[in-house]
Amino acid sequence: MRKWVLPITIVCIISGLLLSLQFKAQASLSSNPIGQRNKALVELIQNLEQEIVKYQNELTSLREELENIENNKASGQEDIQKLQQKVQKAKLKAGLLSVKGRGIKIILDDNKAGLNANPNDDPNRYIIHYENILNIITELKLGRAEAISINGQRIVTPSEIRCVGNVILVNTTRLAPPFEISAIGNPDFLEEVLISGEYDLLKGAGFPVSYTKYTKENPLEIPAYTGTFQFNYVKINE
């Protein structure tokens, strides 16, 4: 009898401790006031995100409708057609139209294996940060990328890449790993800047990263920017 009392007791104490820890972790998410407030905030964020997607879809279809009406009503009007071509060209450069072409697609993911192997390390060392993405984008521009997107978010001139806490945001849209960065351009140039920069550092640090080159026959497609451009302060200097 006595022989097993001690080990069982120890084991019970440990599992009791773990159980209470587990409960504490759960409880802090649901029942304490801060947890409750955060839960409400998370719901609010999710609702806002859904509404934004709905508005963006509406905006895309309204933009198309307007363009179609203008096209139909103006067919045969030379000056209007010229203006329309100018607008179309400018939209292409601004990132308001989907494009395709040769390029490269990069996939970056958090280093979950590394964290599992070193559970006591700072987990921040094993996740992709916005700086990593910003650096890769900066390098892709050096490689003459003509269009770039991250998880379907088109990078336009005023696009920001940032984080709030550990959440990465591009065009105020929340992105989750794995991060898929697509860039249209000469795949060899893009590859060259990629493998001598941030990508290589991440690879060296054990992050699961990979890239694929796309040819003319098998082109990469990058979606249009679905957001708005706001101009409340800037004016053309006539």
Partner 1 sequence: MIQMQKKSWQLPITIVLVFLGILLSAQLQTQTRVLSDLSMQKTEDLITMVRNLTEKRFQLEKELEDIEGKLIALKNSNSDELNIINNLRAELNKLEIINGTKEVKGPGLKVIISKDSPILYIDIVSIINELWAAGAEAISVNDTRIDYSTVFFYTETENSMFITLNHKPLTFPIIIKAIGNPNTLEKGLTLPGGIIDNLALFRAYPYLEQEEEIIIPPIENELVLLEAELVRK
78 binds partner 1 (CB under 8 A): no
107 binds partner 1 (CB under 8 A): no
CB-CB contact of 106 with 228 (8 Å): no
Residue type, 160: E
167 three-class SS:
strand
Euclidean distance between CA atoms 35 and 31, whole angstroms: 6
Q: CA nearest 90: which of 141, 183, 143, 157?
A: 157
Identify the burial level of 147 via C-beta atoms within 10 angstroms of its C-beta, where 0-12 means exposed, 13-18 middle and 19 or more buried: buried
213 binds partner 1 (CB under 8 A): no
> Applying CB under 8 A, which of residues 117, 142, 195, 205 lies at the interface with partner 1?
142
> Applying CB under 8 A, which of residues 136, 155, 181, 209 lies at the interface with partner 1?
155
* Centroid of chain to Cα 162: 10
Q: How far is the CB of 205 from partner 1 (least distance, A)?
A: 16
221 binds partner 1 (CB under 8 A): yes
For residues 86 and 210, which CB has a smaller minimum distance to partner 1 in the complex?
Answer: 86
Q: How far is the CB of 45 from partner 1 (least distance, A)?
A: 5
| CA end-to-end distance (rounded Å), the chain | 96
DSSP codes joined into one string, 170-185: ETTEEE-SSEEEEEES
201 binds partner 1 (CB under 8 A): no
What part of residues 31-60 is at the interface with partner 1 (CB under 8 A)? 34, 37-39, 41-42, 44-46, 48-49, 51-52, 55-56, 58-59
Q: How far is the CB of 165 from partner 1 (least distance, A)?
A: 4
> Applying CB under 8 A, which of residues 13, 21, 27, 195 lies at the interface with partner 1?
21
121 three-class SS:
coil
182 binds partner 1 (CB under 8 A): no
192 binds partner 1 (CB under 8 A): no
